[in-house]
Amino acid sequence: MGPFRAVKGVQDVLPPDVFLWQHIESIACDVFRAYGFDEIRPPILEHTEVFTRSIGQATDIVDKEMYTFTDKGNRSLTLRPEGTASVVRAFVQNGMHTLPSPQKLYYMGPMFRYERPQKGRQRQFHQIGVEAFGISDPKLDAEVIAMLMELLRQVGLGGLSCEINSLGCSKCRPAFREVLVKFFTPKLGSLCTDCVRRHNENPLRILDCKVPGCIKERKGAPAATDHLCGECREHFETLQILLNDLRVSFTLNPEMVRGLDYYTSTAFEVTSTDLGAQNAVAAGGRYDNLVKDFGGPDTPAIGFALGMERLVALLSDKAVSAEAPVLDAYVVSIGKEPVRKGLVIAERLRMKGFRTEVSYGSSSLKNQMRRADKLGARYVIIIGEDELREGMLSYKRMSDGASGKVSASEAEGLLSTDKNN
């Protein structure tokens, strides 16, 4: 049998690439914490209905892309294609609506879609997302959008802009839907087959179609924002005022509809022009009916998700790199007894938090020094028969070649003095 290969459409993330992933994840945790969000870790596996019910039948995800299988108990299970449905399921199942409002949660992890793998599209991909429950006030919308912008700014992405739209609520959306159906009925012959189907099932999604013929036909299509009820209009206007207060730059995009059925009211998408072209990096919106659809009490909610692969690619192209962990010390030891002592010294330094390597073989002093240099060690600690007898350690500071002898406890002090320089 030949060597194993990863499953088609999934990828390993290896060092040093992983340092950029950790950099983003660590900043995300800090930013989310500052805004009062706590982590939730829902399972990757859900009953298929969790997604068919929420995402909607007439969407590409449910129609074509779900990673669904039947398990040995004859249950239909699906590897999550996105995070929101799982978090809402968990929110309802765990009675989190009884906790103080709002409940603000974030998640990070792999998602799965069964589609043809291509550049930038894998069957296993990763998202960071947030969901906030229990508040319908646009203050929450503004806060969530501002938090997303701050996160992207902190990880090193520039040229950020936010497009916003309002998709209306269960009161005003049906009327808008009728207007859209009427607008597209005489154009049905020129729409793609997907859009002909959407015309019946979810005409809003025609506004989202990427087929050039459909883009042409939807010129002059009615905008959701012209058909909002008083409540939705006020919500949308207040949101814009608050975003201005928070100095979040945004533009109105009446054509933006989120691809999934559950979105209501505020929808937003953040793009970056940092690399010339406009790249979408994150998107989100309100889904005020989803908790109720899942059998919970009427609970407004809003969230967003950002794609890690896209963000990592953008940052890499921009040459934003996260530094590899620095090796504080490399312990060189020569001779049987010194090698044993060297391991004890390394253990002591590691317990103090110093990243420390030892020589595992019995190579020469010269070879060990060369390896220490190759690993970028800040200090080399040397233990030979002399040092063992004296109860001291020799050291060499690699930055300037300074050397001397110290006791084990002095070595710890030496390593910490210029740790962050």
**CA–CA gap between residue 287 and residue 297 (Å, rounded):** 14
* 169 binds Zn ion per the rule CB under 5 A: yes
* 232 binds Zn ion per the rule CB under 5 A: yes
Q: Kindly state the smallest distance separating residue 180's Cβ from Zn ion, in Å.
A: 13
Q: Kindly state the smallest distance separating residue 221's Cβ from Zn ion, in Å.
A: 12
Q: Kindly state the smallest distance separating residue 89's Cβ from Zn ion, in Å.
A: 26
Residues 6+ apart with CB under 8 A from 105: 37, 38, 39, 40, 87, 91, 130, 131, 132, 133
Instruction: Single out the segment in contact with Zn ion by CB under 5 A; choices: 21-29, 40-48, 203-211, 244-252.
Output: 203-211
**389 SS3 class:** helix
Q: Which is nearer to Zn ion, 38 or 178 (CB)?
A: 178
The structure tokens listed for 188 are 């049905």
Q: Which is nearer to Zn ion, 147 or 195 (CB)?
A: 195
Q: How many residues bind Zn ion (CB under 5 A)?
A: 11
Report how far Cα 112 is from the mean position of its chain's Cα atoms: 14
* 179 binds Zn ion per the rule CB under 5 A: no
DSSP element (H, E) containing 181? helix 173-184
Concatenating the DSSP letter of every residue in 5-64 gives: -PPTT-----TTHHHHHHHHHHHHHHHHHHTT-EE----SEEEHHHHHHHH-TTSHIIII
Q: Kindly state the smallest distance separating residue 230's Cβ from Zn ion, in Å.
A: 8
Bond prior to 3 in cis (omega within 30° of 0): no
Interface pick for Zn ion out of 29, 58, 229, 320 (rule CB under 5 A): 229
Interface pick for Zn ion out of 75, 139, 171, 370 (rule CB under 5 A): 171
Q: Which is nearer to Zn ion, 151 or 195 (CB)?
A: 195
* 214 binds Zn ion per the rule CB under 5 A: yes
CB contact burial 351-378 (16+ within 10 A = b; e otherwise) = eeebbbbbbeeeeeeeebbebbeeeebb
* 58 binds Zn ion per the rule CB under 5 A: no
| CB 307, CB 281: distance < 8 Å | yes
Instruction: Single out the segment in contact with Zn ion by CB under 5 A; choices: 142-150, 215-223, 224-232, 234-242.
Output: 224-232
The structure tokens listed for 169 are 């609520």
Q: Kindly state the smallest distance separating residue 5's Cβ from Zn ion, in Å.
A: 36
Interface pick for Zn ion out of 148, 157, 172, 282 (rule CB under 5 A): 172
Interface pick for Zn ion out of 140, 155, 167, 195 (rule CB under 5 A): 195
Instruction: Single out the segment in contact with Zn ion by CB under 5 A; choices: 56-64, 123-131, 143-151, 186-194.
Output: 186-194
Q: Kindly state the smallest distance separating residue 91's Cβ from Zn ion, in Å.
A: 23
Q: Kindly state the smallest distance separating residue 174's Cβ from Zn ion, in Å.
A: 10
Q: Kindly state the smallest distance separating residue 119's Cβ from Zn ion, in Å.
A: 23
Residue located via tokens 């802009």: 161
Report how far Cα 80 is from the mean position of its chain's Cα atoms: 15
| CB 274, CB 188: distance < 8 Å | no
Handedness of CA 134, 136, 140, 144 (dihedral sign): positive
* 45 binds Zn ion per the rule CB under 5 A: no
Q: Which is nearer to Zn ion, 177 or 318 (CB)?
A: 177
Residues that bind Zn ion (CB under 5 A): 168-169, 171-172, 192, 195, 209, 211, 214, 229, 232
